[in-house]
Amino acid sequence: MRKPANFLIAVILLAVISVFLSACQVQTPTVPDKSTASKTLTIATSFYPMYIAAVNVAKDVPGVKVVNITQPTTGCLHDYQLKPDDLKTLSEAQIFIVNGAGMEAFMDKVVSQLPDLKIVDASKGIPLIKGDGEEGDNPHVWVSISNAIQQVKNIGLQLAALDPEHAAQYNANTTAYVDQLDALRVTMHQNLDGAKKRDIITFHEAFPYFAREFNLNIVDVIEREPGSEPSAAELADTIETIKESNIKALFAEPQYPAKAAETIARETGAKVYTLDPAVTGSMEPDAYLKTMEANMKTLEEALN
């Protein structure tokens, strides 16, 4: 009986030694296939409305990250000065989405130093409104919901061309978001096209495209540039215009102090309403839709 037991023990020892030696062998490391390795495509946007459009077009696209180079509270890029963090964010991106129409002209020198950066011009093909005198084209094209739809289409087409691997998803996202925008556009026209009053006074030059879409007449602009207080003579002229035109509504913007508008309202009896050009707000993808819906309700009250 002793011999079989010894034989069994020897067999077990050999098996254990074999397993141990196998575990100790040097394993050849697996080299990941570069073609399948995960890659991150960083898309930078110049300011808030471009970010909202881009996150809708690039929604759930694998390996794609959308970042905004300016703070969401920046507003329009009038006289904006790039900060070191802005430049760092831009330098790490492969694609840069801009509004165009002259809004980001101050970035031209920086962008020229990044030859590999691909530029997506959201305003491509959109007819621009000329500024007064020596002013350039008005860049606030996104404030018109029809122009916003065209910008989203432009972004979708250009991203699909630059990142063909995900073209189908960019196209699907573009279609889905455009459908939402178009549904709201129809509702806005249904509610605003029959408004009793058409003459409005706005805070600064953000609303010409919006006014053109809804057949509104901008009688006067309180501040041509945000933050530039009108002179006493300009205030007097605006007050006189309101009295002569019997305008009952002034439209200030939530991004800027409405001191001048409130002064005019006291002198004329007009009411100050808030009309949002969608240059700041929530970073949620539906933010532009909510802003335009709120503008529609404000105008319904003010113009009727």
The pLDDT tens digits of the residues spanning 38-71 come to 589 999 999 999 999 999 999 999 999 999 998 8
User: What are the E-state strand segments in the chain?
Assistant: 41-45, 64-68, 95-98, 118-121, 199-202, 217-221, 249-252, 271-274
Q: What share of the chain is helix, strand, coil (3-state, %, to 5)?
A: 50, 10, 40
Give SS3 for 28. Answer: coil
The structure tokens listed for 291 are: 């802003």
pLDDT for res 150:
98
The pLDDT tens digits of the residues spanning 253-297 come to 888 777 888 888 899 999 999 999 999 999 999 999 999 999 999
The structure tokens listed for 163 are: 């990142």
pLDDT for res 106:
86
pLDDT for res 259:
80
Q: Are 278 and 49 in contact (CB under 8 A)?
A: yes
CA dist., res. 282 & res. 48, Å (int): 9
* Backbone φ and ψ of 202, nearest 5°: -110, 170
pLDDT for res 229:
74
pLDDT for res 227:
58
Entry pTM: 0.84
Which domains are present in the chain? 41-188 (3.40.50.1980), 195-303 (3.40.50.1980)
DSSP 42-99: EEEESSHHHHHHHHHHTTT-TTEEEEESS-TT--S-TT----HHHHHHHHT-SEEEE-
Give the sign of the dihedral formed by CA 53, CA 59, CA 61, CA 62: positive
One-letter amino acid of 140? H
What residues in the chain have per-residue pLDDT under 70? 1-38, 133-134, 224-228
Going from the C-alpha of 109 to that of each of 113, 124, 296, 298, the distances in angstroms are 7, 20, 39, 40
* Backbone φ and ψ of 44, nearest 5°: -100, 145
pLDDT for res 31:
37
Q: Are 203 and 240 in contact (CB under 8 A)?
A: no
